[in-house]
Structure 1
């Protein structure tokens, strides 16, 4: 039987402005349990982080999907560290991803996006505690299609002495025009010393409400900052068309740096608050520092990049097909498809069985360079896995989703 789906077309604009109703929620996005090589059970680990003020947890065991942890007051989101030659975290997953010996970063990206998830490249830059196999340079990151969504710009597990701080690869990727957010994590096992590895790197996510969908959208759109101890108390970005004004304050920073294209320091301020006008550069990102003795005990916060011209495409600016996200996934009622198109063309969205048999059409129309959102009701469909086939001009791709 053909299922009737309902959809609504909504025009949206992407904003990096963090304001309005809501607050920051503390999140750990890289940690391990006894399901792989960690020292704590999932419940014990979540409770340990809860005691330090965490309200969002992504347990990322090696090639193991931890999806059933229930601790009151903490939102646990099913995740996995996809472990092959490189390591990449898949967030918002519904099925375990098992890489083979020839697995690649692009396959990891494709596998996570097919489930409607988000993906992060872990501990990728050279350092004293980084395995050579994990290193990924800017040219390779730029070449990836549709991701990653995030780079792990701080990994406590490979930053044990907390002196190696290199964001040049991130800036090289941003300078090339690829939009990718930066995160800070513990990568907690512990491996050496619990005191050195626990609660040392986290992300503060701005949310109106603590739900899985809200966290997904905030991470997708860069509405969070990474921290190793510095707190941002005020952050405002005002868009005046030809330029943007930025104001930022911290409760404990004593230096603020504004970084731009080519890994340049565009402005440096000694103090806990600063302002900046973004007009002559393609982007700026902000680093807030609490300087310790000889730099050995510095703590930081890093905002996401603010772009002079808001990017519509959140992953790979060179890809011909629009950037697609389907959420929530899995789902039982109203599903959302976000389309971010960098060019005009003919868009067709079809729902298929896993075997590729046509079920129904969601959209078949001409779209401009813009953001679009389609809503459709999957509640009449039987439980199981389905494909969303996306055709744009002469390019196509498929995403997998689950009806529960």
Structure 2
């Protein structure tokens, strides 16, 4: 078996897929948002203000990208007025589709089919669609497990974490993967003010720093999500997976099988750290993925590797 998570010539580009500005309910202007991310070592961000599509780069320099996109929401209220909702980030693949400042009104849903219609509408306009903060949204697997056309789900949301202590959604991602849903993981800020920024990000492996190249990497899973650690290499040769990373305390191989039958753990000797882990592939699994942990709430998530998509 042969597999390389980051194939061919290219580089890693750090970026944010979900944040807000004064175009909706953020406290910083688009120019200020861009300046903060540039100072933080990012190569790109998407300005995903609520219901309002953005295609403006707001004077960003050539070595910093502003991905075109928006955040869309659809709500449901029960008889007591308690809300659960679905929020989606839409990222435009190209210049066609939604126009700058195009407004898409929030909706109300009574069935999963109403939510699916929003995803379909966004996808038909040429967007990649990502499910946002399912824990914060007060939703469960029956609400999102059957949705089609998503490319990713947020496994970490900085704003939700620091404001509400419910920013981690990797358990919800696991639930979706185990039921056969194939989608990637992203860590984001969803920042509405400065203290939310640079808490979660992705590293996209792309041939160049351009909007088409970054979107191609997103669509094809050539990126990882992180709140701290770096994944430098991840590949399979024969029956062995190798991951090389920044110094970590633990590295996990995880799959759809429970216990030792489908999961592996690598730890350093003594009080040191680990920068390379090798795992024998577990038998009979549908997918595997890697988590690198460098400290409390400091995690990097690889994308799932589906066994039926690897080269034998």
TM-score range, shorter chain: 0.7 to 0.9
Paired with 1:34 and 1:49, the residues of 2 have a C-alpha distance of: 16
Alignment of 1:30-179 (within 5 A): 30-69=18-57, 70-72=59-61, 73-85=63-75, 86-92=86-92, 94-95=98-99, 96=102, 98-102=104-108, 104-125=114-135, 130=136, 134-145=137-148, 147-160=149-162, 165-179=168-182
Deviations 1:143-197 (A, max 9, x none): 112x21110110011111878745222112111211010000011112xxx33x1
- CA displacement at 1:108 relative to structure 2: 2.1
- The 3 A distance-change label for structure 1 pair 102 and 166 is closer
Paired with 1:140 and 1:118, the residues of 2 have a C-alpha distance of: 20
Alignment of 1:201-350 (within 5 A): 201-238=200-237, 240=238, 245-261=240-256, 266-270=263-267, 271-278=274-281, 279-291=283-295, 295=296, 298-310=297-309
| Structure 2 spans left out of the alignment, 5+ residues | 76-85, 268-273
- The 3 A distance-change label for structure 1 pair 165 and 71 is closer
- The 3 A distance-change label for structure 1 pair 287 and 97 is farther
Deviations 1:5-46 (A, max 9, x none): xxxxxxxxxx76313211100010110000001111112211
How much is the aligned-residue C-alpha RMSD, in angstroms? 2.2
- CA displacement at 1:231 relative to structure 2: 1.1
| Structure 1 spans left out of the alignment, 5+ residues | 1-14, 312-404
Q: State yes or no: 1:189 paired with 2:192.
A: yes
Report the TM-score when normalising by structure 2: 0.82
Bigger Rg over Cα: 1
Contact 2:157–2:168 under 8 Å retained in 1:
no
Paired with 1:97 and 1:282, the residues of 2 have a C-alpha distance of: 41
Paired with 2:46 and 2:166, the residues of 1 have a C-alpha distance of: 26
SS at match of 2:25: coil
- The 3 A distance-change label for structure 1 pair 189 and 174 is same
Residue in structure 2 matched with residue 330 of structure 1 by the alignment: none
Contact 1:232–1:251 under 8 Å retained in 2:
yes
Paired with 1:124 and 1:107, the residues of 2 have a C-alpha distance of: 18
Contact 1:231–1:253 under 8 Å retained in 2:
no
Deviations 1:327-376 (A, max 9, x none): xxxxxxxxxxxxxxxxxxxxxxxxxxxxxxxxxxxxxxxxxxxxxxxxxx
* Corresponding pairs, count: 276
Higher helix share: 2
Deviations 1:32-80 (A, max 9, x none): 0000011111122112101111111111100111211231111111110
Report the TM-score when normalising by structure 1: 0.64
- The 3 A distance-change label for structure 1 pair 148 and 164 is closer
Contact 2:43–2:65 under 8 Å retained in 1:
yes
Contact 2:133–2:169 under 8 Å retained in 1:
no
- CA displacement at 1:255 relative to structure 2: 0.6
- The 3 A distance-change label for structure 1 pair 38 and 138 is same
Residue in structure 2 matched with residue 367 of structure 1 by the alignment: none
